[in-house]
A and B are shown apart, each in its own frame.
Chain A
Amino acid sequence: EAQVTQNPRYLITVTGKKLTVTCSQNMNHEYMSWYRQDPGLGLRQIYYSMNVEVTDKGDVPEGYKVSRKEKRNFPLILESPSPNQTSLYFCASSAPPEIRVAFFGQGTRLTVV
């Protein structure tokens, strides 16, 4: 089954404790991205990657890091999480020619206390 898998689905952590949210897709998609979704603000792009070893900032990259060492994986790293990073996070992937059509993972609900 074609899918984008995120882990964990739910996470409660403390301020400053480094964490990684994993994202993996089995569709051989070149393009992957991370979004956060907050009430009243909609989905905002954090980082995106056009292919292996190619990443770039989205609209709200502060406080986040990503890496793309393999085509299928695109982890999101929070080096020092803060409460304002409490949010619902989605990973998405897509591929040419329909690169603008995104397939989303099930989401990770992160709470930073």
Chain B
Amino acid sequence: RKEVEQDPGPFNVPEGATVAFNCTYSNSASQSFFWYRQDCRKEPKLLMSVYSSGNEDGRFTAQLNRASQYISLLIRDSKLSDSATYLCVVDRGSTLGRLYFGRGTQLTVWP
């Protein structure tokens, strides 16, 4: 079983739509969780950290369910500029600084 599993998509949505991405992780010792964004052929960039209580950053909401080992990202009012691949990232628990990356979920927002 892969450490981090994501639905690869692609998700194709119209502008203004709400879209949700899900991710599961296998290491119950993981402590830190993130969503990264990667534009085509470019470097990944941190979108947001995910906290146990859930957190919001503008149109983006991240949720964590430790019991189910499940992470989600909700994007409201999608913009064309949201088109990218979204990577679910989980730390390895015991080994400081080491991260597991999901394969990414591809999103295309069309006008």
Contact = CB atoms under 8 A, between A and B. Distances in A.
A3 to B, nearest CB: 10
Nearest to A38: B103
Nearest to B85: A42
B102 A48 contact: no
A104 B36 CA distance: 11
A42 B102 contact: yes
A63 to B, nearest CB: 20
A101 B43 contact: no
B55 interface: no
Interface residues of B, number: 19
Contact of A45 (B87, B98, B102): B98
Contacts, number: 49
Which of A45, A102, A104, A105 lies at the interface centre, i.e. has the most chain B CB atoms within 10 A of its CB? A102
B91 A100 contact: yes
Contacts of B49: 101
Given A42-B104, A101-B49, A106 B97 contact: no
A40 B9 CA distance: 12
Contact of B97 (A48, A88, A105): A48
A54 B26 CA distance: 28
A58 B13 CA distance: 37
A43 B97 contact: no
Contacts of B43: 90, 104-107
Given A104-B45, A107-B42, A94 B104 contact: no
A102 B46 contact: yes
Interface of A: 31, 33, 35, 40-45, 48, 50, 58, 88, 90, 94, 99-102, 104-107, 109
The list of the 5 closest CB pairs from A to B, nearest first, reads: A104-B43, A42-B103, A43-B101, A99-B97, A100-B32
Interface of B: 32, 34, 41-46, 49, 87, 91, 96-99, 101-104
15 contacts: A33-B97, A40-B103, A42-B101, A42-B102, A43-B44, A43-B101, A45-B98, A88-B41, A90-B44, A94-B97, A99-B96, A100-B32, A100-B97, A102-B99, A107-B43
